[in-house]
A and B are shown apart, each in its own frame.
Chain A
Amino acid sequence: MFSRLARFFYRTAAWRLALQTTLVFAAASASVFLAMYFIVARTVRERSDSWLTGESETLRQVALSTPRDALYSRIVEEVAELATQEFSWDGGTANTGGNTVFFAQIGNTSEPPLWVGPQNSGAFLGLLRTLNIPQHQAVSLRVAGFAEPFRVVAVDVAPGAGHIYLGLLDRGAEHLLRQLLVRFFLGWLFMVAFGFLLTLFGLRRLLNRVDDITGAAASIRTDDLGTRVPIGTQHDEIARLARTFNSMLDRISASVNQLRTLTDSVAHDLKSPITSVRGSLEIALSLEDREQSQDLIASAIENLDRLSEVVTTSLDLAEADGGALRLRRESLDLSDLVHRVAELYAPAIADAQQHLTVSAPEPVPIVADLSLCTRLLSNLMENELRYAGPGAHISVVVTSRASTGSVAVEDDGPGFPMDLLPRVLQRFVKGSNSQGHGLGLAFVSAVAHAHAGVATASNRATGGARILVEFPLSDSPRVTGDDGLADNLLTSS
């Protein structure tokens, strides 16, 4: 039992948090209670003190005007009697025998002091004589034989005519205050204990939900990413944690699936050319005819080049997906770049009986990675070359609007197959008659994203494919950005 409890305390942060909270609460509530207690105590004391002061003043007047005779003694006794009744706080238990008030008049002459009060007057008178009690100020006086102290007020009858002492045994007030203290303490103890248990329980319930998330996380394996954390109906931090955790699992699961697709596709895309390269080279080895064997070797090299292209682009895409594609940004003119790439492709496009028109009349300044943007545009052109079909009209339009510079490449060819259209910019998505690897447009999209731009693919209403790539415009004017390639050919005088 004890060890179970110890383990519970060891394994949860709830009790520690509850303890901390409770300690703070206990300290705060104790100080509030104590403050209240002292305010009440002062009020009670002030009330009896002001009575004492008032009565002692009255008695002084009486003492001044009345000779010390029997009448005077009666008046004093009356006062004591009244006080005893007035200050019996709880209906008589404190009022034991009317001995709660004393009166003493001590003169400077040799006449005996006047005493009204408890029997053992000697002890009182001795004390009063030795203590120099200041006028009109209540002080506490402890007398042997009484559990509680007396409140005593002293008055001079007249200068040099002795002192009057009026004392009140504060039994009622003391009792009241003691009871108040006990009740306050019990109430405080209960509140603290209740608060501690409530906090412990609440925190434990809250932390149990964290335990659920821990359990779910522990049960996740790479081959089974199906587990999800229960979210519940709340909208608090832990519900948010659970939701975030679940969406993280969704993303991990998506990337694992993507990785699987990628592995499958790479396996397929790499294995076929490797097989054909191997085959070509084997045959070339066994052939006597030099021309034929060279032909085979050449085709093997071409296949290897294609393989190398797939590997390079796959790695670039993987880097882009991982956010690790490092850009060397420089200022460049999108229009100029489009013209240059179009010039490179124009003869090949013409040979394929396609018609290319480029409209890029204005400089469109962007800050981008020249090498990646060149490859992006070349991918777009190759896409047209491969899939727009003979006779297609290809138009490349560069525009800038507000803060966006865009390249739109359109054709009037067959367009994207409808079932592929939503996924055509994803990796390894390709048409059934495509000889590519489904990487070109994925690369376009990845490069656009890396530049905080976007690529969209659509089919035109009039037929044909349209790819729009948008880049954020740079604010700065164009800076010529040759990337420092060895250039010893185009230098003219």
Chain B
Amino acid sequence: MRLLVVEDDNTIRDFLTRALAESGFGVDACAQGCEAERLALEGVHDALVVDLNLPDGDGLDLIQRLRSQGVSSPVLILSARRSVDERVLGLERGGDDYMTKPFAVAELQARLRSLLRRSTPGQSETTRLRVADLEIDLIRREARRAGIELQLTQQEFALLEYLCRNAGRVVTRAMVLDHVWKMRIDTSTNIVDVHIHRLRNKVDRESQRPLIRTIRGVGYLLRE
């Protein structure tokens, strides 16, 4: 998978390049809109990460130009502008997802993966998820650990499903709130930790091998 990062801020561009390269992407990076246009038109990139504030024009214009020239790779917009209007405008002008700064690297990776999944069709929707001895039946909405059914509330089930779908990858608190509760809120309280704690009590208590881990400062990870 090859990505094109368009970001004028040197610090952010460098750390993005490094972080994305470490998670296995091939990364091209540039700071200017015109250079980005030239690179993107080569058509070798699977996804684009575009900052809206570019030295030679607005990132939205760049995206619109690329779209009109047939570049169909998904575009993730990065912006310091936070308003919902900006988000909607970005998506209308050809962006596929929108992230505001500051953001967690884990979330950026997750969103890119989700974009790339969406752009490669043909994957069948799974009805079962399995991590180690944890099994989730998405149709019957049942979860089993080592064959024993777990008594989960609807919310706990949704949370566990989200963690399983992202098994092996870190999810942040904001991602959990956004995807499981459909709420975009910043919180410095421990509300998500409490939910995770309760879920962990049900999933990991009987087992010698805990699956759900807390990565301090970042979020949570479900892994064998």
Q: Do A and B come together as binding partners?
A: yes
Contact (Cβ within 8 A) A487 B84? no
| Interface status of A25 (Cβ within 8 A of chain B) | no
Contact (Cβ within 8 A) A299 B217? yes
| Bound-complex Cα distance A378 to B185 (A) | 8
Contact (Cβ within 8 A) A385 B189? yes
Set of chain B residues within 8 Å of A345, measured between Cβ atoms: 191
| Interface status of A485 (Cβ within 8 A of chain B) | yes
Q: Report which of B141, B180, B189 forms a contact with A348, defined as CB distance below 8 A.
A: B189
Within 8 A of B (CB), among A343-384: 343-345, 347-348, 351, 369, 371, 374-375, 378, 382
Within 8 A of B (CB), among A31-76: none
Contact (Cβ within 8 A) B217 A300? yes
With A347-B198, A492-B139 given, is the CB distance from A482 to B183 under 8 Å?
no
Set of chain B residues within 8 Å of A343, measured between Cβ atoms: 155
| Interface status of A90 (Cβ within 8 A of chain B) | no
Interface range, B side: 35 or more
Contact (Cβ within 8 A) B190 A378? no
With A312-B82, A344-B181, A347-B194 given, is the CB distance from A295 to B189 under 8 Å?
no
Contact (Cβ within 8 A) A326 B191? no
With A313-B186, A385-B189, A487-B182 given, is the CB distance from A348 to B194 under 8 Å?
yes
Chain A nearest Cβ from B103, distance in angstroms: 9
Contact (Cβ within 8 A) B187 A378? yes
| Chain B 171-191: CB-based contact to A (< 8 A → 1; otherwise 0) | 000000111111111111111
Set of chain B residues within 8 Å of A482, measured between Cβ atoms: 182
Q: Which residue of B lies closest to A313 (CB)?
A: B186
| Interface status of A490 (Cβ within 8 A of chain B) | yes
Within 8 A of A (CB), among B52-108: 82-85, 88, 102
Contact (Cβ within 8 A) B189 A489? no
| Bound-complex Cα distance A114 to B136 (A) | 146
| Bound-complex Cα distance A319 to B83 (A) | 10
Contact (Cβ within 8 A) B161 A489? yes
Q: Which residue of A lies closest to B127 (CB)?
A: A493
| Interface status of A304 (Cβ within 8 A of chain B) | yes
Within 8 A of A (CB), among B158-215: 158, 161-162, 165, 177-191, 194-195, 197-198, 215
| Bound-complex Cα distance A309 to B194 (A) | 20
Contact (Cβ within 8 A) A348 B191? yes
| Interface status of A186 (Cβ within 8 A of chain B) | no
With A351-B194, A378-B185, A382-B189 given, is the CB distance from A489 to B85 under 8 Å?
no
| Interface status of B30 (Cβ within 8 A of chain A) | no
| Interface status of A228 (Cβ within 8 A of chain B) | no
Chain A nearest Cβ from B156, distance in angstroms: 10
| Bound-complex Cα distance A386 to B194 (A) | 15
Chain A nearest Cβ from B208, distance in angstroms: 22
Chain B nearest Cβ from A337, distance in angstroms: 10
Contact (Cβ within 8 A) B194 A312? no
Set of chain A residues within 8 Å of B198, measured between Cβ atoms: 347
Contact (Cβ within 8 A) A312 B186? yes
**Residue with the greatest number of chain A CB neighbours at <10 A, chosen from B82, B165, B189:** B189
Question: How many contacting A-B pairs (Cβ < 8 A)?
Answer: 94
Main secondary structure, interface of A, reads: helix
| Chain A 297-326: CB-based contact to B (< 8 A → 1; otherwise 0) | 111111011101100110110010000001
| Interface status of B216 (Cβ within 8 A of chain A) | yes
Q: Report which of B102, B155, B165 forms a contact with A304, defined as CB distance below 8 A.
A: B102
| Interface status of A340 (Cβ within 8 A of chain B) | yes
**Residue with the greatest number of chain A CB neighbours at <10 A, chosen from B85, B114, B184:** B184
Set of chain B residues within 8 Å of A1, measured between Cβ atoms: none
Q: Which residue of A lies closest to B186 (CB)?
A: A309
With A375-B185, A489-B162, A489-B179 given, is the CB distance from A301 to B218 under 8 Å?
yes
Set of chain A residues within 8 Å of B218, measured between Cβ atoms: 298, 301
| Bound-complex Cα distance A340 to B181 (A) | 8
Contact (Cβ within 8 A) B84 A378? no
| Interface status of A328 (Cβ within 8 A of chain B) | yes
Contact (Cβ within 8 A) A308 B102? yes
Set of chain B residues within 8 Å of A385, measured between Cβ atoms: 189, 191
Q: Which residue of B lies closest to A485 (CB)?
A: B182
With A326-B83, A489-B162 given, is the CB distance from A374 to B217 under 8 Å?
no
| Interface status of A486 (Cβ within 8 A of chain B) | yes
Chain A nearest Cβ from B178, distance in angstroms: 6
Within 8 A of B (CB), among A270-298: 294-295, 297-298
Chain A nearest Cβ from B185, distance in angstroms: 5
Set of chain A residues within 8 Å of B197, measured between Cβ atoms: 347
Set of chain B residues within 8 Å of A344, measured between Cβ atoms: 177, 181, 183, 191, 195
Chain A nearest Cβ from B211, distance in angstroms: 18
Q: Which residue of B lies closest to A482 (CB)?
A: B182
Chain A nearest Cβ from B53, distance in angstroms: 16
Set of chain B residues within 8 Å of A378, measured between Cβ atoms: 183, 185, 187
| Bound-complex Cα distance A356 to B172 (A) | 27
Contact (Cβ within 8 A) A347 B82? no
Q: Which residue of B lies closest to A483 (CB)?
A: B182
**Residue with the greatest number of chain A CB neighbours at <10 A, chosen from B155, B162, B188, B218:** B188
Contact (Cβ within 8 A) A298 B216? yes
Set of chain A residues within 8 Å of B181, measured between Cβ atoms: 340, 344
With A313-B186, A347-B194 given, is the CB distance from A326 to B85 under 8 Å?
yes
Q: Which residue of B lies closest to A372 (CB)?
A: B84
| Bound-complex Cα distance A301 to B106 (A) | 13
Closest 5 CB pairs of A and B: A298-B217, A301-B217, A298-B216, A348-B194, A347-B194
18 residue pairs bridging A and B, Cβ less than 8 Å apart: A300-B217, A302-B216, A305-B188, A306-B188, A308-B186, A340-B183, A344-B191, A348-B190, A374-B183, A375-B184, A378-B183, A386-B189, A482-B182, A483-B182, A485-B182, A485-B184, A487-B179, A489-B179
Q: Given A295-B216, A298-B218, output 15 extra A-B contacts at Cβ < 8 Å.
A: A304-B102, A308-B102, A309-B186, A309-B187, A309-B188, A340-B181, A343-B155, A347-B191, A347-B197, A348-B189, A378-B187, A489-B165, A489-B179, A492-B138, A493-B139
Q: Which residues of B contact A (CB under 8 A)?
A: 82-85, 88, 102, 114, 138-139, 141, 155, 158, 161-162, 165, 177-191, 194-195, 197-198, 215-218
